[in-house]
Structure 1
Amino acid sequence: MSTDAFITGDAVPAAVRAAEETVWVNPRLLPFDVVDGLSQLVVSDEDIADAAARLRRFAPFIRRAFPETAETDGLIESPLRAVPAMQVRLSDAYGAEIPGRLLLKMDSHLAIAGSVKARGGIYEVLKHAEGLAMDAGLLTWEDDYAKIADLRDFFARYTVQVGSTGNLGMSIGIMSAAIGFHVRVHMSADAKQWKKDLLRAHGVEVIEYADDYSRAVAEGRRASDADPMSHFDDDEKSVDLFLGYAVAAERLAAQLRVQEITVDREHPLIVYIPAGVGGAPGGVSYGLRRLYHDDVHCFFVEPAQCPSVLLGVATQRFERANVHDIGLAGRTDADGLACASPSSLVTRMMTNHMAGVFTVSEAHLYDYLRDLDASEGIRIEPSSCAAFAGPIGLLRWSAARDYCAAHGLTEERLHRATQIAWATGGRLVPAEVWEEYLGTYR
């Protein structure tokens, strides 16, 4: 489908073009068994298991370099918490029917980087470091990876670069600097000043652009390509980033088992993940589909002004889709979601796996932020709060209700469902910035 055809399509695309809150249900979603074989040609179960094993090997180094991870023995993992008071508050404040139980996956509180990007971004840096050290004969599979902390002089010969609106740059910048790499983060105009300041405090070189995310990525890629000692972490194309996010699925499954939460046809799992370029929600959703098949329903949530993944999948223009093409500004306070064009990898991978996309207004990002703070005492950044548009909208929008009917999400099954809002960032937000957030759109 061309962008022109998309613009003149049915009522849902019209609402998207008008930057209204809505839901787009993916007509290309297929049963898991139908797409399993083809999907595994790109990212297999073995690939995900290999990524999980690599993270376990690096745990001794992570624990040594970041003592805050001692409690999790060097694994970077976040709590899964029930938020019943928030569920009641959302129902009362917005007239929303939210069946089942509502949980918050708190990647907002992940160690080191304080965002979901601590999964994919850090994983790619670790894999790159492992490869360099092994090629140089400085590391073997049998070694205690804590020794990597003693190889800073070796890694200082190499550069790691990334283009970012904020959180990916923080995860890659902080971990790369801890290993000893020279780090250069190319940041778009959407990036928050406090994130740039934090990176510089870690010794990271920050290059600022008065342009959007796509420009920052393009310039970072160009600079890295010109330097044979440089590695570029490419959020638009990287399978390694995708794998780091996909590992989250098995970790979540373990947490659900501990909480004695069943996931099957009679007890469906519905997950809502904020999306920018799409890497984190794509990897997490793919990992969950590999575990739970058709018993999990993964929705992305994007700012109404910047629904790039929606546009890329709906038009099948993938990374060539751009929100500016349908008259949207692409500007949003949700800096981590300010990506005018989506990932080429994720839009292709998610074409047959993603349930759909909810869009959310700027004002509601801050309303949900205040609601969560008041009801549960949890503070997450505005981009994370996009996730709550999902449970609010599941039974509000007719297209979402039709999705439920088509996929066997009956009233009885929804009553037994587990809904998860995936918080993607917020732990590192400075106190003075929080005060600004709490007063925004009041």
Structure 2
Amino acid sequence: MVFTKPEIIEWQSQYPILKDIMDLNPVFWSNPNLKNVEEMDSLPLSREDIEEAELRWQRFAPFLERAFPETSSTNGIIESPLEEISQMKEEYLPDMEGTFYLKCDHELPVAGSIKARGGFYEVLQYAEKLALESGILRKDENYDVFSTDRFKSFFNQYSIGVGSTGNLGLSIGIISAKLGFNVSVYMSMDAKQWKKDLLRENGAEVLEFEGDFSEAILAGREATEADPNGYFIDDEDSEHLFLGYSVAALRLEKQLKEKGITVDADHPLIVYLPCGVGGSPGGITFGMKHVLGNHVHCIFVEPTHSPSVLIGLLTGEMDNVSVHDFGIDNRTEADGLAVGRPSRFATIISDQLVSGIYTIEDNGLYRQLANLADSEGIYLEPSAASGLIGPDRIYPYTEANNIKLSHATHIAWSTGGSLVPDDHMAVFYNKGKSLG
């Protein structure tokens, strides 16, 4: 769909914030369509779906533990720690009320990013489905059998394709190749070379495109669907990716209880989630709302040059609009967030669940990255640092909704960084320090 200049002018009149978005100025937008859990319109998924997804993760734990020894300490469960970042708060957010935590998805085993949640999950559910339908698997047996040559030979008949800016492709490439699938990752121009190299080292085919994320997805979908045994993982429209992310809420609920953290009207939980196509923050938000209720407030974060979900929700056009329609170039150093068009599936759900969205300039990502490294000794890739400024950006929303922050818990959700080569990380850090 192509939008005319008069239509965009009309939107600017209806939504004054749109001019700032088009001028690439950082903004905060509060979602007027936010609903309480009990008031939400019918959604295509439920809490029961989240719990079923967690059971699937548990079934595959024996396989994951054998296939990836780095998961042995958690018995094959892929999860990240929740760490308080009090020094970051004290040194760089002196006016912040409440406590500040980092959900360390940059430490997720194997793939080193949040995409291990969704990407791994979708491949595992597909592998389970094929194995059950073929009769080589019984649901009640030990899933350690997925490590055997018999299963790898079986999956070698099938191919998996995915379009990616980097981390999703990395997670899907690693887990698919480990199971025995033939996997092809269609990567946009934003993807970093080291991620392409790592994929190839793990047995995935990497195909590179000069265009952006949407072009890579289109090419990947067409090529994969031309194969009768092909399965395309569609980040723009995937229920399974979404559910894989949603299970994080059950895990976080347990971590909060272990730390004695209450979530209620007097103790709100505010979560800052980096946002690309919208699947991972949308899935986590969906899980949070169903598991922790109305007093968790989820805020998405997008680069000023790639505010695709913000524009889709603001205009109500969802995935019908692209940032390019508004003269925005979709060029950002936050490669995982460099998405011009939002997810169809996730955005429709997030429309009722996300509290707001703020945008951040690339230089702000580098500053926050360096600040975290200096204060906590934690190193993230640029996109993963986007939530660290959240407590300074939340006030328009909390004041308008009379949310008391004195006993609030803030969580910035990191998304990647542990696999970044040291020389690349040094470049990120030095750039952040040079910006002051």
Scaled by the length of structure 2, the TM-score of the pair is: 0.96
CA distance in 2, matches of 1:296, 1:109: 24
SS of residue paired to 1:102: strand
The Cα shift of 1:17 comes to: 1.3
Q: Secondary structure at the match of 2:111?
A: coil
Matches within 5 A, 1:16-95: 16-35=21-40, 38-39=42-43, 42-91=44-93
Equivalent residue for 1:407, pick from 395, 401, 412: 401
Amino acid aligned to 1:224: T
The correspondence of residues 23-172 of structure 1 with structure 2, limited to 5 A, is 23-35=28-40, 38-39=42-43, 42-91=44-93, 97-150=95-148, 151-172=151-172
Provide Cα deviations, 1:314-365, integer angstroms capped at 9, x if missing partner. 1111111111111111100000000000000111001111111010001010
Q: What RMSD in Å do the two structures reach over aligned CA positions? A: 1.3
2:338 corresponds to which residue? 338
Matched, 1:277 2:241: no
- CA shift digits 1:268-314 (9 cap, x unpaired): 00000000000000000010011222101100000011110001111
Can you give the 5+ residue segments of structure 1 that lack an aligned partner in the other structure? none
Alpha carbons 2:253, 2:292 under 8 Å: kept: no
Q: Secondary structure at the match of 1:427?
A: coil
Give the secondary-structure state (helix, strand or coil) at the position aligned to 2:42.
helix
Alpha-carbon distance in structure 2 between the residues aligned to 1:77 and 1:70? 12
Match of 2:326 in 1: 326
Which position in structure 1 is the counterpart of 2:191?
Answer: 191
Aligned counterparts of 1:9 and 1:327: Cα–Cα separation in 2: 18
Matched AA of 1:38: S
Aligned residue for 1:294, secondary structure, equals coil
Question: 2:367 & 2:399 partners in 1: Cα distance?
Answer: 30
| 2:231 aligned residue | 231
Using a 3 Å threshold, how does the CA distance of structure 1 residues 84 and 208 change in structure 2: closer, same or farther?
same
- The CA distance in 2 between the partners of 1:38 and 1:90, in whole Å, is 42
- The amino acid of 1:123's aligned partner reads Y
Stretches of structure 2 lacking an aligned partner (at least 5 in a row): none
Cα shift at 1:440? 2.2
Measured after TM superposition, the shift of residue 11 of structure 1 is 4.0
Output the CA distance in 1 between the equivalents of 2:391 and 2:325.
29
Letter paired with 1:432: D
Distance 1:314 1:135, change over 3 A: same
Secondary structure in 2 matching 1:440: helix
Q: Deviations for 1:49-87, whole angstroms, at most 9, x for unmatched residues?
A: 110000000000000000000011100000000000011
State the match for 2:290 in structure 1: 290
Cα distance in structure 2, aligned partners of 1:13 and 1:98: 28
Mapped contact 1:358–1:389 kept (Cα < 8 A): no
Letter in 1 for 2:401: H
Quote the sequence identity (%).
Answer: 45
Residue 308 of structure 2 contacts residue 323 of structure 2 at CA under 8 Å; is this kept in 1?
yes
Query: In the TM superposition, what whole-angstrom CA distance separates every residue of 1:95-130 from its partner, at most 9, and x where no partner exists?
Result: xx3210000000011001000000001000000000
What is the distance in 1 between the residues matched to 2:26 and 2:339? 18
Q: Equivalent residue for 2:200?
A: 200
Q: Judge conservation of contact 1:17–1:327 (CA < 8 Å) in 2.
A: yes
Question: Is the CA contact 2:164–2:217 (under 8 Å) kept in the aligned structure 1?
Answer: yes
Q: Does 2:411 correspond to 1:420?
A: yes
Are the equivalent residues in 2 in contact too, given 1:274–1:422 (CA < 8 A)? yes
Task: State how far apart, in whole Å, the 1-side matches of 2:358 and 2:342 are.
Answer: 16
What residue is the counterpart of 1:267 in the other structure?
267
How many residue pairs get aligned? The number is: 426
The 8 Å contact of residues 274 and 300 in structure 1, kept in 2 or not, is answered as yes
| Superposed CA offset, 1:130-164 (max 9, x none) | 01111111111111101111111111110010000
Q: Measure the CA separation in 2 of the matches of 1:417 and 1:319.
A: 33
Aligned-residue offset at 1:224: 1.2
Determine whether 1:312 maps to 2:312. Answer: yes
Which amino acid is the alignment partner of residue 62 of structure 1? Answer: L
Per-residue CA distance 1:240-276 (angstroms, 9 max, x = gap): 0000000000100000000010001110000000000
TM-score by structure 1 length?
0.94
Is the Cα–Cα contact under 8 Å of residues 359 and 389 in structure 1 kept in the other structure?
no
Given that 1:3 and 1:315 are in contact with CA atoms closer than 8 Å, whether structure 2 keeps it comes out as no
